[in-house]
């Protein structure tokens, strides 16, 4: 029996699990410090109050039970990996031995040390906790204005640093939410100001010009205030300073300007890139350890041509599948194949029922794109929910038997 340990119930980790589960002669243990898989692609809908809390998470214990007897979930905090003895070390409890290891621990928001005060006065949105924090602030502010006439006349400001996919989607969803709330006549005065700061000359740097143009127009129509070609140099309590000297007051700040590998990944005794991701070979193995693979945001992913792949859920999923398939090939003594991750398109939510889909050769805008994006999310989420439901029934049956 070959024991495969997956550290991280991320997009890449769950895709790898799906490939390996049910394979004869393989036992899989999924390790994660959180008992749930957070659907980050739907986190912005959570912030904007479009979906309930429980629709953005999938329980890992039930999910693993749904895959069958050869899969188990371990709720633990991985601290290190002893590559020589092939053991995962935890903050508490006994080490866990493995024959193969997939590191899928993901990434966290990168708070640049060069920006004074950034870490102290801003929040990331990579985690469920951070998303709930922003949602709570947003709704508390709306509630105060609803109940108190003095507060209703006040303006309040949210500053979003970083105008990539995350920053643009958050700005659009929150502004659309406020606009909808305002039109309901719940607020007769006051105003929400969302400032979106981009270090580049445009938002969504690197995307197709027509996508940038459509997204910019949409944000402006919603009322988002754009600051392009602007770099944040200092953040103090309630105010951020730009390189030009301009100051932007804020009540809450979100930073989406970059990612860095999770602390666990950074601490491993292996080669890393400049943001702490693990360097991998074309087969997604860590050099010098052919039984250890890294996927998703934990790895420095590149396509077959050596070009770095953007850190998206899509690239994480593909790398998870590739790593699992290469483990099967290694067990069966077959030739491993080169991971060639290709992004098949991009879907961007821009508030309300408006979105943009860039499929490379063509682009879709508006309601049709929004419906397409929701369909993509459901195609990922529904099979996991079905498995988790099956697992829940199995766990409940086991509990009844013990009673």
Q: Does domain 112-257+345-403 have CATH number 3.50.50.100?
A: yes
| Half-sphere exposure for 46 (CA within 13 Å, toward CB) | 24
Alpha-carbon torsion 352, 11, 262, 279, what sign?
negative
- The segment(s) of the chain belonging to CATH 3.50.50.60 are 2-33+76-109+259-343
Question: What percent of the chain has pLDDT above 90?
Answer: 64
If you average pLDDT over residues 391-397, what whole number do you get?
83
Give the single-character DSSP code of 378.
Answer: H
User: Which tens digits make up the pLDDT trace of 194-232?
Assistant: 999 999 999 998 899 999 999 999 999 999 999 999 999
Rounded distance between C-alpha atoms, residue 313 and residue 316, angstroms: 5
- Chain centroid to Cα 86, Å, comes to 29
Q: Is the pLDDT of residue 279 over 90?
A: yes
Rounded distance between C-alpha atoms, residue 321 and residue 326, angstroms: 9
Closest to 356 (Cα-Cα) out of 215, 253, 251, 248: 215
Instruction: Return the CATH superfamily for domain 2-33+76-109+259-343.
Output: FAD/NAD(P)-binding domain (3.50.50.60)
Helix, strand, or coil (residue 381): helix
Rounded to whole angstroms, what are the CA distances from 4 to 31, 71, 291? 11, 10, 9
- The segment(s) of the chain belonging to CATH 3.50.50.100 are 112-257+345-403
Q: Is the pLDDT of residue 391 over 50?
A: yes
Angle at 333 between CA 332 and CA 334, to 5 degrees: 90
Q: Is the pLDDT of residue 402 over 50?
A: no
Q: Is the pLDDT of residue 403 over 70?
A: no
pTM of the model: 0.91
The two three-digit tokens of residue 145, written as one number? 């204005």
pLDDT at 152: 59
Closest to 276 (Cα-Cα) out of 286, 287, 263: 263
If you average pLDDT over residues 380-389, what whole number do you get?
93
Which range among 49-58, 90-99, 145-154, 247-256 shows the weakest confidence by mean pLDDT? 145-154
Angle between helices 165-183 and 209-222 (to 10 degrees): 30
User: Which tens digits make up the pLDDT trace of 142-183?
Assistant: 777 677 656 656 678 899 999 999 999 999 998 988 888 777
Which range among 76-90, 109-123, 265-279 shows the weakest confidence by mean pLDDT? 109-123
Give the pLDDT band (50/70/90) at residue 188. Answer: low
């Amino acid at each position: 029996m070959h024991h495969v340990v997956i550290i991280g119930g991320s997009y890449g980790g769950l895709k790898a699990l799906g490939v390996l589960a049910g394979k004869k002669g393989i036992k899989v243990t999924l390790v994660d410090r959180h008992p749930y898989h957070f659907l980050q692609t739907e986190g912005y809908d959570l912030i904007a109050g479009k979906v309930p809390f429980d629709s953005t998470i999938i329980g890992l214990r039930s999910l693993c039970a749904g895959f069958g007897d050869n899969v188990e979930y371990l709720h633990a905090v991985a601290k290190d990996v002893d590559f020589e003895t092939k053991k995962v070390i935890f903050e508490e409890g006994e080490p866990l031995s493995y024959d193969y290891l997939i590191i899928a621990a993901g990434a966290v928001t990168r708070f640049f040390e060069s920006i004074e005060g950034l870490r102290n006065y801003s929040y990331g949105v990579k985690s469920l906790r951070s998303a709930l924090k922003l949602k709570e602030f947003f709704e508390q502010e709306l509630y105060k204005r609803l109940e108190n006439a003095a507060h209703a006349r006040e303006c309040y400001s949210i500053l979003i640093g970083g105008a990539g996919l995350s920053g643009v989607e958050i700005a659009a969803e929150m502004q659309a939410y406020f606009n909808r709330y305002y039109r309901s006549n719940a607020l007769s005065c006051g105003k929400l100001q969302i400032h979106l700061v981009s270090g580049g000359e445009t938002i969504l740097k690197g995307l197709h010009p027509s996508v940038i143009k459509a997204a910019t127009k949409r944000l402006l129509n919603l009322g988002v205030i754009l600051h392009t070609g602007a770099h944040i140099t200092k953040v103090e309590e309630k105010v951020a300073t730009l390189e030009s000297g301009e100051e932007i007051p804020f009540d809450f700040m979100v930073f989406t300007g970059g990612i860095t590998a999770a602390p666990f990944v950074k601490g491993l005794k292996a080669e890393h890139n400049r943001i702490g991701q693990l360097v991998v070979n074309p087969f997604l193995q860590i050099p010098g350890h052919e039984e250890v693979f890294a996927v998703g945001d934990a790895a420095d992913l590149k396509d077959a041509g050596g070009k770095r792949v953007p850190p998206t859920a899509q690239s994480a999923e593909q790398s998870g599948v590739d790593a699992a398939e290469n483990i099967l090939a290694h067990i069966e003594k077959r030739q491993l194949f080169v991971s060639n991750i290709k992004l098949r398109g991009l879907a961007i939510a821009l508030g309300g029922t408006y979105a943009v889909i860039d499929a490379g050769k063509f682009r879709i805008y508006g309601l049709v794109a929004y419906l397409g994006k929701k369909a993509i999310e459901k195609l990922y989420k529904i099979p996991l929910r079905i498995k988790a439901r099956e697992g829940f029934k199995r766990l409940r049956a086991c509990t009844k038997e013990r009673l």
